[in-house]
Amino acid sequence: MNATPRALNRFLLALLGLLLMGVGGGLALISAWPAAARAWHGFAARAGTEGAAAFSSTVMPGSGASWIWVAAAVLSFVGIVLMVLWMAAQGGGRTDTLVSEYDDDGAPGRVAISGGVAEQALRNALQQDPDVAGSAVSTYRVRGRSALRVRITPRQGAAPHLIAADATALVESLDLALGHETPVLLSLEAGRRIRLGREDRVR
């Protein structure tokens, strides 16, 4: 439910995986096939000669350095900036406000309900359930609307569908108390000691 760019992350991971597979396959081919090793040595020798010639022909006037190093430094700086922006784009989407509506009944004004109200109410109610080993409730902003994410860890031997039904009833009671229907992602997750799988329910 957060703002992580999952499609971009998958694309970058796939691209990195293909690159590493290509490098690994090339190294394995060079080490196992003598003809490939000879071809690589010949290519490396030609590349070294051509690289030296390129550096000597790109020396900046009044300086003994090649402009290729300057371009490499600029590209490295741009790459660092892009990586920082990419890391900053991970996660996010959390919000502190669950409901924010304009009320013109009587004195006009805006009514705002903090997400912490719903989070604390649901956590306290879930802690009373003996089949629940742990829970976490968070408020996110999804497509311009606030939504709740409820993660529940059932105890060993508990029936996940019964826990999901009880949690759904709690959410419906919360909607009645707040007078506002909130989208909810209900997630049942296995803890470290149990393996009940995972069940998601969106309401």
pLDDT in tens, 139-194: 888 777 888 889 999 988 888 889 989 999 999 998 888 888 888 888 888 765 44
Decide if 171 contacts 203 (C-beta within 8 A). Answer: yes
pLDDT at residue 16, rounded to an integer: 92
pLDDT tens-digit readout, 17-71: 999 999 999 999 988 988 988 898 888 888 878 777 777 777 777 666 777 778 8
Closest CA to 152 of 114, 199, 109: 199
pLDDT at 24: 93
pLDDT at 76: 94
Q: Which helix (H) or strand (E) holds 111?
A: strand 109-114
Interatomic CA distance for residues 44 and 177, integer angstroms: 73
* More confident call, 108 vs 201: 108
Asked whether 137 and 94 are in contact (CB, 8 A), the reply is no
The whole-number pLDDT of residue 105 equals: 61
Q: Which helix (H) or strand (E) holds 124?
A: helix 115-127
Whole-angstrom distance, CA of residue 123 vs CA of residue 113? 17
Q: 3-state DSSP call for residue 4?
A: coil
pLDDT tens profile 81-135: 988 888 877 766 777 888 777 666 666 677 788 888 888 989 999 989 888 988 8
Residue type, 48: G
How big is the chain, counted in residues? 203
Instruction: Note whether 148 and 183 are within 8 A (CB).
Output: yes
Question: Per the structure block, which two tokens stand in for 97?
Answer: 């406000």
Q: Domains in the chain, start-ordered, CATH in brackets?
A: 6-88 (no CATH), 97-202 (3.30.300.30)
